[in-house]
Chains A and B, each alone.
Chain A
Amino acid sequence: MAKKILAVDDSKSMRQMVAMTLKSAGYDVTEAEDGVDALSKANGTQFDLVLTDINMPNMGGIELTTKLRALGNYRMTPIICLTTESSDDMKGKGKAAGATGWIVKPFSPEKLLATIQRVI
C-alpha cells in the first residue's frame, strides 16, 4: 500500500508542487489548505506523514502540530515542517509542539523527495 501523506500549505503553487512530486513517486497525497482543513482531513484518515507549512491563515503549522499530537493516533506520526522560517525560536516552538523535522524553503522537488524517502 502506498504511504499516505498529508500536504498542508496555503500557497497553491507550493501545495501543487509538493503533491505532484510525491504522487509521481508513488505516494498517496492528500492536500489541505490550512491547519483547520488539515485537522479535519487527519481525523478521517490515518496518514503516515504530515508535511506542513508554518505560516497559514486560520490555523498555522505549529498549532496544527500541537493538535495532531494531541490526537492519540498521531502521536508517532512524523510531522515535517516546510517553511522559510527556521529561526531557533521557531524551531523551539516546533519542537515543543512535536515537529519531527524541517525542510527549509526554497527546496527542489528532488530534495523534497529525497527527504521524504528518508523519513518513511
Chain B
Amino acid sequence: MDELMQVFRQTYLEESFEGLAAMESNLLTLPEGTPDTEVVNTIFRAAHSMKGGAGTFGFSELIHLTHILETLLDEMRSGKRNVTTENREALLQSVDVLRVILDAYQNGASIDMTQVKAMEEKLEAILGNATQNDNSAASNATTETDVTTGYQIHLSPSDDYFSSGIDLLKLLHELSRIEGASRTHITTHLNAGNPLQVEHCLIAFNVVIEGEVSLEDVNEVFEWLDDDSCHVSIAAIQAEASKQSTTATSAATQQVVAASTASATAATKTPTTAVVEKQESSIRVSISKIDQMVDMVGELVIAQSMLSRFGLLADQMNAPWADELKEGLIDIERHTRAMQESVMSIRMMPISFAFNRMPRIVHDVSAKLEKDIELILEGENTEVDKTVLEKLTDPLVHIIRNSVDHGIEKPDVREASGKPRKGTVRLSAFHAGGNIVIQIKDDGAGIRLDKVRQKAIEAGILTENQVITEKENIDLIFHAGFSTADAVTDISGRGVGMDVVRRNIRELGGTIEVQTEQGKGSVFTIRLPLTLAILDGQLAKVGEETYIFPLASIVESVLPSVENIKSVKGTFLYRLRDVYIPIVRLNEFFARPQGKTQLTDGLLVVVENGDKRFGVFVDSLESQQQVVIKSLDTNYRKVNGISGATIMGDGRVAMILDLTELSHEIE
C-alpha cells in the first residue's frame, strides 16, 4: 500500500498544482463586490479538493490553511461576504503559500511553517474569528481507549431500514469479532405498538459484548452509518466506567462537523455552465527517456545520410539493383524524417506554460505601482521545445516587469499625454520562418535614449563624446550592470537584468531586439529556433574543412566581383546592391591557413544575424541537409565561432558556425 500511496500522492500534487493555477486565474478575473457565484464556486472547489486530499494523503501542513481558505470562500459563494481587494489579495497570497508548500513536498524540502502560520493568521483575521482549532479538539472520544469489561449496544434500525441496502447481520457479526471480545450476546425485540408492515423494519437488537474491548473499536463499526437510518447507543457495562458515549456517531465525527459549519449552504447549487474538462488520455514519461529517443533518432539520421550515399554510388556503378536500393533509401529517409518530427514534437509544449505566469505578475506589480494595466496574451498555443520553454520564462518575466515598471506610465501621466488611462502590454508568440517569435509590446513611454546614454556614460560604458547610432544606443540596455530606473525598485531588480536576459536568449540560439518610440512605447522581439537538437544546415567547404551554416540565416550567396570589393583599413567590405557589408574569412577567423585566399576565387555567403548582415567567405557550397547538433562544449571545449558539431554521412565531423560570435568579429 505504501508504494500505491506514493502514486496517489503524486497524483494529488499534480492535481493540486492544477487546482492552484485554476484558483489563481479565476481570482485574477474575480470582480470586486457581490461575488460571482460561478467563479467563486470554481475557486472553492479547488480549495475543497485540496483540503479533502490533504489529510488522506498525509499532507498535514496543508490541512489547516486549506480549511480556513475553504471557509472564507464558502462565505463568499453563499453571499455572506463580498469580494474586496483585501481578501482577494489574501486569497492570491495563500495560493502562493500553498504552492510553496506543495513545491516543498514535491522536492522533499522542508516547509517553512512560519510563513504558513502567518498566512493562516491573516485569513483568520479576515474571517474575523479565531476558527476553532479542530485538530486539538478532535479526539475526546477517539483517544479514550479505556478498557472496560464490555459494552452494551442498542441497535434500533429505522422503519425503512430494509430499503437502505445495509446488511445488519454483517454489523452484528463484526461486533462479535472485535478484538478482545470474549463473548457476544444478542437479543432481539420487536418495536411494539407499530402496525405490522412487511416492508418496515420493526426489529431492534441488544448486543452485549464482554471482554476487554475498546470503545474506539466499537464506535468504528457504526461510524459510517447515518444515525437516522439506524439509531445506535453504546454504554459501558462496567459500573465505575463513568465515561459514556451515547451515540455511535463518534465525538470525533462531530468535531469535524462543528469545524466546517459554514460549508453547507450552497453546495447543492451545481453550476450549469461549468466547463467539463475532458482529459486527454496521456502517460507520464521522464524527460531523460525522451532525450534518449531524440539522441537515437539523431544517430538514425546520421546513419540514413550515410546510407544515402550508396544510392548515388550504385547509380554511378550502373548496378542492376540501383533502383530498388534508391527506392528503399528514399523510404527510409521519409520515415526517418517523419519519426524525427514526431519525436521532436514530444518535447514541444505550448508556450502558455510560460505565459500563464504573467497575468499574476502584471497584476501584482501594477497594483504595487498604482498603475492600471491590461495584459493581452496571444498565441499561447504556439509550441516550443521544453528546454526553450524552461529557459525562456525568466527572461520573459523580466521584460514584462520592466514594461510594467519603466514602460507604462501612471494613469494621470498617461491621461495628460492624451493616452487612455489604462496601459496595455501585449505578449504574443507566433511562428515566422524557422523561428518562434515572441513579442512584448507596451504602449508606455518608450525608452528615453538620452537617459540611457547618460547612464551609460555614468557607468563608464561609454565616453562622453562617443558617437553611437540609435540602435547602439538602445542596445546599451543590454550591457552588464546597466539600469535606467531613477531609483532602484524591488520590481525590476538591481540592474542584473537585460544583460542576463540577452545571455539566456543567446544560449538558446536566439536573438533579442528592441524598438522604441518616445511616448508611444517599446517592442521587445525575441527570436528562437524551433528546436535545439536538429538544424537545417548548408554545408560549405574551406580547404579541407567543412563548415555548416544554419540555413535559416542565409540570405543569398554571391560570386564576388572585383569592382565591388573594397578594403578599408585592412578589413574588406563588399558592396552588395549599394550597401557595404563586412566580410569574415573563416580561415583567418579560425586560424587555419588553408583554402582560397582571393575573394574572387570563392563564394560569399551573405548571412543575417539579428539585424546584422555580413558576408562569410568560403571556397564552395555543398549540399543542404539536416544535421544533428552535438555539443562541442561537452565533448571537447568551447570554441569561439562554433556553436556545435555534427557527424556527417561519411563519418567525418563538421563544425556548425555560430553567426552571433562571428558577427562580433566585425565589431
Contact = CB atoms under 8 A, between A and B. Distances in A.
A118 B9 CA distance: 27
A119 B55 contact: no
Interface in A50-102: 53-60, 62-63, 75-78, 80, 83-91, 93-95, 99-102
A55 B53 contact: no
Given A76-B163, A76-B165, A105 B52 contact: yes
A43 interface: no
Contacts of B52: 11, 14, 53, 83-84, 105-106
A100 to B, nearest CB: 5
- Place the interface of chain A in its size category: 35 or more
Contacts of B49: 10-11, 14
B224 A119 contact: yes
Interface string B160-171: 001111110011
A118 B174 contact: yes
Contact of B271 (A53, A57, A94, A109): A57
B15 A13 contact: yes
Given A84-B260, A91-B226, A95-B228, A55 B45 contact: yes
Interface string B428-456: 00000000000000000000000000000
Contacts of B256: 84, 86, 104
A87 B228 CA distance: 14
Given A57-B271, A86-B260, A105-B52, A78 B45 contact: no
A78 B166 CA distance: 6
A111 B1 CA distance: 13
Contacts of A58: 270-271, 274, 276
A86 B51 CA distance: 14
Contact of B8 (A17, A60, A84, A102): A17
Nearest to B41: A57
Contacts of A34: 276
A30 B289 CA distance: 32
B261 A87 contact: yes
B267 A105 contact: no
B264 A84 contact: no
A107 B5 CA distance: 13
B11 interface: yes
Contacts of A21: 1, 4
A75 to B, nearest CB: 6
Contacts of B55: 105-106
Interface in B242-285: 253, 256-257, 260-261, 263-265, 267-268, 270-271, 274, 276
B170 A118 contact: yes
A12 B445 CA distance: 48
Contacts of A120: 167
A114 B220 contact: yes
Contact of A115 (B7, B11, B224, B257): B224
A100 B267 contact: no
Interface string B58-87: 000001000000000000000000000000
B142 interface: no
B224 A13 contact: no
Contacts of B56: 14, 17, 105-108
A86 B263 CA distance: 9
20 contacts: A14-B52, A17-B57, A20-B7, A55-B48, A57-B274, A58-B270, A60-B268, A78-B165, A86-B260, A88-B257, A90-B267, A100-B225, A100-B226, A100-B229, A101-B166, A102-B224, A102-B253, A104-B253, A105-B55, A109-B4
| A-B residue pairs, 6 tightest by C-beta | A106-B55, A13-B12, A13-B11, A89-B264, A106-B56, A78-B165
Interface of B: 1, 4-5, 7-9, 11-12, 15, 42, 44-45, 48-49, 51-57, 63, 162-167, 170-171, 174, 220-221, 223-226, 228-229, 253, 256-257, 260-261, 263-265, 267-268, 270-271, 274, 276
Given A10-B45, A10-B49, 8 more contacts: A16-B7, A20-B8, A21-B1, A55-B48, A57-B271, A76-B162, A76-B163, A104-B256
